[in-house]
Amino acid sequence: MVPDSALQQTFFAYEMSDFSGAAREIKQAGKDVRIYKKESGYDFELVKELSRVIKEKQIEIIHTHDFGPVEYAVALKILHPRLVLVHTQHTLHHFVTNKKYVLFFQAASYFYHNVIAVSEHVKNIISAKCKFMRGTPTVIHNGVDVKRYLRLPDKVNLSAKLNLVSISRISKEKNLEHIVQTCFKLKERNIDFHLHHAGAGTQKEVESLVRLIDKCGLTQNVTLHGHKDDVRDVLKLGDIFISSSLTEGHPIAVLEAMASGKLCLCSQIPAHEKISPRGLIIFKLDDSEHLLETLLAVKAGRYNLEMKRENARKDIDEKYTLAQMINRYLDVYSASKRNYEYNRT
């Protein structure tokens, strides 16, 4: 967390009726966290409430994350011109394929002092799709608290049993069906394995995944743990972390697995390929057998697993720590505030 001496923080989450996930964790750390159950569509009452909090807390900087809150931040900037707006874009599938959203994002960028992308891949896509936005996004990678993810002990010998783990939302973009179908192929070959998954989704998406697991006869081989506030509880159950995502920005789950010393198998998408070329094992999504073949190669000892894990952890320590991320954001806040004050005078 950012030290109190650096800045005073107020966190605001909408579309929530109780504290859960990150909101609860931040609140437990003693921070000011406020939640608001937003109505569907544009909620003018939310604008009023946010405006009230801005006055009450004398807020100077608003930092939005992903596309949804941007429309409210722009309204607040109009109501409170002294505000400095900073935005971080984590994912892309929410808006870059929608012309109306792309147009709005470009217009909104002129109210912002800095737009941040969590990876070079996200920056490049935004720059390509939003040619008329103000400036060029700054890249600040996501980071993890390395002290929380000291290497977890391996559960068993990989040659005896494949203990697999995945952490993600249950959604189309995360492509969990690919992992389940690969597990079915492992079972057909009488290979001993178990897959643990942490992450929630909509009722429709969860039910669809459960039906596929049932259809493949994997109810004894796959455990869905649902949402976990602390993913270390699930990470410690596996030796091999798998991400089969179709798209990512700069995936925190992969960083957490790398920091934990897990062997990471990740789909061949730009975000995965650039995180740790020396530490991750990449498999192709356009070859339905490639993940299976990669797992069999791991089981047969064809990779230097220790070197892969050590290289992944080194990349975390060198490039993706929470402290590094926080310091970069503090620099952005300070620079944005200075630039605003300079332009006012």
Q: Which of 251, 7, 249 is nearest to 122 (CA)?
A: 249
The distance of Cα 188 from the centroid of its chain, to the nearest Å, equals 33
Q: Which pLDDT tens digits describe the chain residue by residue (345 residues)?
A: 344 445 678 887 776 566 666 777 777 778 888 888 887 888 999 999 999 999 999 999 999 998 889 999 999 999 999 999 999 999 887 788 889 999 999 999 999 999 999 999 999 999 999 999 999 999 999 999 998 887 665 544 666 899 999 999 999 999 999 999 999 999 999 999 999 999 999 999 999 999 999 999 999 999 999 999 899 999 999 999 999 999 999 999 999 999 999 999 999 999 999 999 999 999 999 999 999 999 999 999 898 988 999 999 999 999 999 999 999 999 999 998 887 776 666
Place of tokens 């405006």: 51
67: closest CA among 44, 100, 43, 35?
100
Query: Token pair for residue 12?
Result: 């605001």
Structure confidence at residue 154 (pLDDT): 55
Look-up: residue for tokens 């094992």?
281
Q: SS3 of 213, please?
A: helix
**SS3 assignment, position 132:** coil
* Of the candidates 189, 145, 173, 210, the residue with the CA atom closest to the CA atom of residue 293: 189
pLDDT at residue 127, as a whole number: 94
At residue 114, the 3 state secondary structure works out as: strand
According to the model, what pLDDT value does residue 198 have? 98
Distances (CA, A) of 258 to 144, 159, 243, 272, 320: 10, 21, 12, 12, 10
Render pLDDT for 5-59 as a digit per residue (tens, 0 to 9).
Answer: 456 788 877 765 666 667 777 777 788 888 888 878 889 999 999 999 999 999 9
User: How many other C-beta atoms lie within 10 A of the C-beta of residue 272?
Assistant: 24
**Which domains are assigned to the chain?**
10-143+322-344 (3.40.50.2000), 162-319 (3.40.50.2000)
CA angle 13, 18, 19 (to 5 degrees): 65
Residues with Cβ within 8 Å of residue 115, at least 6 apart in sequence: 86, 87, 89, 109, 126, 133, 134, 135, 137, 138
